[in-house]
Amino acid sequence: MSVALAAILASSLSSLLGLFGGFGILAGRGAIMRWSKYLVSFAAGALLAAALFDLLPEAIHEFPDKLTPIFMWVFGGFLLFFLIEKFLLWHHHTHPHGLHEETPALARLMIVGDALHNAIDGLVIGASFLISPALGVTTAVAVFFHELPQELGDFSIMLHSGMKPSRVAFWNVMGALVSPIATGIALLVGGQTDALELPLLGIAAGSFLYIASADLVPQIHQERRFVPTLIQVAMLILGAAAIVAIGLVVHE
């Protein structure tokens, strides 16, 4: 299998499989929402591990004489996602509060934000595969782990904004398809020049760090009970361990 085909397939799967949680909501499976707080913890661990144990080490290995630019791009990725959330009212990773106040306008903003988010994910996956297929696989897996709880929030808010279930499903599937298209663009452009590899790796690490620390970890802190908190901590560690284990396997 060619690297390009593997990258587009991985991007498609990570994005489309993340929709399963949302479709579970449409099917009325409340158990998915009850477990979502633990999925959030798992996703946070996976994203932190992907950034700290895969993307950053790979960037430093590939560009050992450009440490300052690497961390500048990491900061740039962090800032980019902060601005996206700030100006697009993008609350993908929070459970909806005051759902009766949600409006169709917010649902439309979320559709735009979701497409932009999936485009960035696709670019990140494509850039990772350009560095190495192994890095691409671990990056795609990390994207999938945070797509799942994100889609739970997306579907819930859109449904409570008054959007029909069929339209919720349609727009989320359309948004998911943006990811492999962006991956193809990254492969096409990146195949012509190596200049994008360092920026995209840095932005990927920064975006993963932002999503984990600013979006997911605050949700984990909302749980005050002792036993559920222990489970959340265990899931966070398990998420990180899963990414490390996958990285070790695919690098062999």
pLDDT classification of 77: cutoffs 50, 70, 90? very high
> 104-131 and 197-210 helices cross at what angle (nearest 10)?
130
Rounded percentage of the chain residues whose pLDDT exceeds 70: 83
User: Position of tokens 């890095």?
Assistant: 135
Q: What is the mean pLDDT of residues 114-119?
A: 86
How many Cβ atoms are within 10 Å of 137's Cβ, its own excluded? 23
Return the pLDDT at 34. 66
- How many Å apart are CA 68 and CA 74, to the nearest integer? 10
CA 16/CA 134 separation, integer angstroms: 21
Q: What tens digit of pLDDT does each residue of 123-165 get? A: 989 989 988 899 999 999 998 888 877 777 777 767 766 778 8
Contacts of 41 (CB under 8 A, 6+ apart): 216, 220, 231, 232, 233, 235, 236, 239
Per-residue pLDDT tens over the stretch 189-230: 877 667 778 898 899 899 999 989 988 898 889 888 999 899
Which helix (H) or strand (E) segment holds residue 83: the answer is: helix 67-88
pTM value?
0.81
